Amino acid sequence: MDTEHHIGFHEATVVDVCRANREIKLSLEGVRVGGVAFAATVLLNGIRSITRDGVKVDDLVAEHDDGEVLSLEQTGTGIHLIIEWTDFKTHQSITRSYSVECDSVEVNVRR
């Protein structure tokens, strides 16, 4: 995720989470680059393990219709991600911490 401009994921909206075989694609809106909001995809290739709140799980899935990224950081072996999932119908939210170990992380930013 090294770029010449800092990419800010804080408060980005999770539009979609898609899992196919050993890949996870996070589609986000409101990713900040140089103070300007963009859409972005984060592609995690070669998934080795996923933990949610410290417990190993089989998948990373949207828990409610609305997800807001609180933090997304690349680690030496993948990413650490904190998302607040909100269900506006029931006025309930839950904050989850995910660690995903994978072979590579690709970030694609677009207008």
Q: Average of pLDDT values for 46-59?
A: 96
Q: For residues 36-58, give the mean pLDDT.
A: 96
pLDDT tens per residue across span 65-102: 899 999 999 999 999 999 999 999 999 999 999 999 99
Q: How far is CA 56 from the centre of its chain?
A: 17
Contact by Cβ (8 Å): 38, 45 = no
Compute the average pLDDT of residues 5-19.
91
pLDDT greater than 90 at residue 34: no
Query: Does the structure show a pLDDT above 50 at 4?
Result: no
What pTM, to 2 d.p., does this model score?
0.90
